[in-house]
Amino acid sequence: MKSLYNDSDAAAFVDRFKDAGEDVALRVYTSQLIGRDPDLVMHGGGNTSVKGHFTNILGERVPAIFVKGSGWNLDTIEPAGLPGLDLHYLKKLRALDALSDEEMVNQLRTHLFDTSSPNPSVETLLHAFLPHKFVDHSHADAILAITNRPDGEALVKEIFGDRVGIVKYVMPGFELAKVCADVFEANPKVDGLVLLKHGLFSFGDTAKESYERHAELVTLAEEWLENEKRSRGRKLTPQFNAPAEPSMFAAQAAPALRGLLAEATGDPDAPYKRLVVEWRATEEILSFVNSAEFSKLALTGPLTPDHVIRTKALPLVITDPDFGNLEEQLAEGVTGYRRKYNEYFDRMIADKKVERIRLDDFPRIVLIPGVGLLAWGDSKKAARIAADIYEHTIRVKTLVHATGEYQALPDSDLFDVEYWPLEQAKLGKAKPKALHGQVAVVTGAAGAIGSAVAESLIQAGAHVVLSDINADALTETCNDLGAKYGKDSRRGVICDVTDEHSVLALFNEVARLYGGADIIVPNAGIALSRALDQLDADDWQRVMDVNLNGYFLVMREGTRLLKRQGTGGHMVVIGSKNVMAPGAEFSAYSASKAAVHQLAKVSAMELAKEGIRVNVLAPDAVFGNDKNPSGLWDEVGPDRAKAHGIDFKQLEDHYRNRNLLRTRITGKHVGNAVVFLASNQTPTTGATLPIDGGIPGAFPR
Ligand SMILES: [Zn+2]
C-alpha cells in the first residue's frame, strides 16, 4: 500500500475546510485517502478520529474528540461527518466495569456538542481511550489475510515484531475499547494495534504520521503475503469447465433464484418481499468458483463479522451445476440453506439464552461454477455492496489458501454481530415504498409516456429497465433519471420490439441486471394518420409490427420471465382511448390497439392462476412537454389536425376541450395509473382504465 499523502493536497483541504480548523481539515483529508482504497475499507467500514478542543457557549475551551459519525463513508467524509464529543467525560467512562451497547450509545449521544450530529461510531471509546491526537482504523484485506488463520497471532508477531500490540477478537463496543487501551498501555511504544480477525488501528501526533504508519504496517503484511505466494504459493486447481458463456447461465439462474428468494408475507395485497441481484463473473471470481477447492473455501465464515449484515455468514454454494436441471438444483440448494440457517439461529438462541427477532433465512451470496457470483439485496445498491464485499472475500480467501489455512471466527461471534441488539432495534422501523425491491420493464421508454411511466415507477421505489429503439434518446432519458434518482434506479437496454431476438435479448439482460422483473409495461408504439384508400400495405404492416407484434413479443417474453420466478407480477398494457372511440383516418393505429386490448384480456384469463394481473390503460392523446415532446404527435399531429378539420396548433386544445374535465392528459397521469395497478391496491385484472378526462363515447363497457 503506497502512501498517497501529498502536501499540496493536504494544504488544499486545509483551505477548503478552514472553518473547521486545520486539524479537522487534515483529518478529513487522510480519512478520504483511506476511504478511497477498497483494499482498506468498503461501504461505511473503518473509522478515524482527531482530538482537539471545542469552545462552548460560555467561551470555555474543553477537550474534544471528533470521530466518524454513522451514515458517513470515509471516502466522501467532510467535517460534518466527524461529530465532536466531550473527551474529558468519555475518558472517565473507562473506570466502569461494564457498559451495555444501548447505554454506551446513550452516553455518546448525550455528550455530543451538537445534538443534530449523527451517532458517533461504536468504536468511539476505543479512539477516546488512546492518547494520540490522530487515530486511523481500517479493515485492510492484507491484515485480514494474515490474522484469519489458526496461527494468525504468531504470524503477526513474526511480521510486525514489537511495532504493534495484538488484540484478540472482541466484538466492538465498551469491552473492546478497554482491552485495546490495556494492550496499548502494556507497550506504549507501538505504532498501532492489530485486532485479530477485525483490522488495524494506527496512531500518531499528526494526520500524516498516523496515516503513513497505517500504510507502512499494511505494506509489511502485503509484502509478507507476496513473498510467501511467490516462494511456496498454492494455486487453485481448475476443475469445472463451463459448457458456455457465464452470461447465458446467469440469465437462466437469476430469475429462478429471485423467485426462490422472494419472501412470502401472507398478505394477499403485498404478497412478497423481493430481492434484486448483482451478478459478477470476473476472471478472479470464475477461477474461484470453478476450482476444486471452491466449496471448502467458500463454506468458511466471513473476513470480519460486520460483513454478516450484508452477506450473511455463509453463501449458498452449488457445487456441481447441471444446466439442464439447474432450477431444481437451485430449489434444493435454497431449501437446504434455509433449513441450516434456522438450525443455526435456534442453536444460538438456546446456547446464549437470549431473545432475538429472527431475520429472513435467505442467502445473500450465491456461488455457481460456470456462472460466478450472484449477490442479492433489497435494492441494487445493497446487492452491489454485498458483491463488493464478497469479491474481496474471494480475493483474501484465495490468498490465504495460497499461503496457509483460512480460519474465520466461530458462529457464536458472528451471531453476536448479526443479531446485535442495536441492529435489532432498527427492524421494522423504516416503511418501504410501495414498489420497494421490485423491477419494472418499460418499452418505448425514451418517449413522452414511457419516460414519465419509468419516472413514476422509480419514485414508487421500483428499479426500472428502460428500453427503446432510439439509442440517443434512451441514453438521455437514463442520464436524466440517474441524475435525479441515482445510478441504481434504472438501466437502459436498446431493443427493437418487432425483432423476436431483440426482445429475447432484452429480457435476458433484465435477468442479468436485476435478477428478473415484476412489472411489464408494453408501451413502444407508432401512429399513422391515413385514409383507408390512401393506406399502403407496407405502412399498415409497419404499424401492426410495432403496435401489435411488438406488444405480443414483449408480453410473451415478459410472461415467460414472470413464470420462471413463479411469484406473480403485473402487466400494465398501454392501450388507447381510440379502441372505445375511434377517429376517422386512423385505422391502422386503432385496429392495432383494439387487437392489443383483446390480447390483454385473454392474457388476464390465462395468467390469473399464476398470480399475474394484466390490465390496460386507455389514455387519450398525450402531448408531452417542452422537456420531452412527444415524437409520435410531432409526426402524426398535422395529419390528425387535418382529419379533425382544425389547425395543428389548435390540436392540444381540441383534445382538452372534448373531455368532460377539460383537462390535458400527461405522461405523469399514465405513470400514476401504472403505479396504482402495479402496487396491488385493488384486486383488479382484465380491466381497462381510461385516462382521458372523461369521454362518454369512450366509457368502457
Ligand atoms: Zn472495525
Question: If you write DSSP's letter for every residue of 508-554 in order, what string do you get?
Answer: HHHHHHHS--SEEE--------B-GGG--HHHHHHHHIIIIIHHHHH
What H or E segment, with its residue span, contains residue 331? helix 326-352
Tell me, in angstroms, the distance from the centre of ligand 1 to residue 210's CA. 16
Tell me, in angstroms, the distance from the centre of ligand 1 to residue 126's CA. 10
The domain defined by 7-232 folds into L-fuculose-1-phosphate Aldolase (3.40.225)
d(CA 366, CA 362): 10
* Residues labelled catalytic: 589
Tell me, in angstroms, the distance from the centre of ligand 1 to residue 17's CA. 27
The values of phi and psi at residue 128, to 5°, are: -65, -35
User: Which residues, in sequence order, are CB contacts of 159 under 8 Å at separation 6+?
Assistant: 146, 220, 221, 224
The values of phi and psi at residue 573, to 5°, are: -95, 125
Q: What is the pLDDT of residue 654?
A: 86
Tell me, in angstroms, the distance from the centre of ligand 1 to residue 204's CA. 18
d(CA 338, CA 360): 9
Tell me, in angstroms, the distance from the centre of ligand 1 to residue 306's CA. 8
Instruction: Delimit the CATH 3.40.50.720 region(s) of the chain.
Output: 439-620+664-694
Tell me, in angstroms, the distance from the centre of ligand 1 to residue 73's CA. 13
Which residues are bridge partners to 494 per DSSP?
468
Tell me, in angstroms, the distance from the centre of ligand 1 to residue 365's CA. 22
**Beta strands, E only, 311-359:** 316-317
* CATH number, span 439-620+664-694: 3.40.50.720
User: Along the chain (701 residues), what's the average pLDDT of each consecutive run of 10 residues?
Assistant: 94 95 96 96 92 94 96 95 97 96 96 95 96 97 97 97 96 96 96 97 97 97 96 92 92 98 92 97 97 96 94 96 95 98 97 95 98 97 97 96 95 95 82 95 96 98 98 97 96 98 98 98 94 96 97 98 97 95 93 97 98 96 70 76 84 87 94 97 96 91 72
Instruction: Delimit the CATH 3.40.225.10 region(s) of the chain.
Output: 7-232
d(CA 133, CA 131): 7
* CATH number, span 246-424: 3.40.225
What H or E segment, with its residue span, contains residue 443? strand 439-443
Q: Are 395 and 387 in contact (CB under 8 A)?
A: no
Q: What is the pLDDT of residue 628?
A: 64
Q: What is the pLDDT of residue 625?
A: 65
The b/e string for 620-656 (b: 16+ C-beta within 10 A; e otherwise) is bbbbbeeebebbbbeebbebbbebbeeeeeebeebbb
List, as ranges, residues with CB under 5 A of the ion ligand 1: 199
C-alpha Rg value of the chain to the nearest Å: 30
Tell me, in angstroms, the distance from the centre of ligand 1 to residue 139's CA. 6
d(CA 504, CA 495): 9
Tell me, in angstroms, the distance from the centre of ligand 1 to residue 58's CA. 36
Tell me, in angstroms, the distance from the centre of ligand 1 to residue 41's CA. 9
d(CA 232, CA 397): 16
In sign, the C-alpha dihedral spanning 306, 310, 314, 320 is: negative
Q: Please provide the DSSP assignment of 128-190 as one string.
A: HHS--SEEEEE--HHHHHHHSSTTHHHHHHHHHGGGEEEE----TTHHHHHHHHHHHHHSTT-
d(CA 328, CA 331): 5
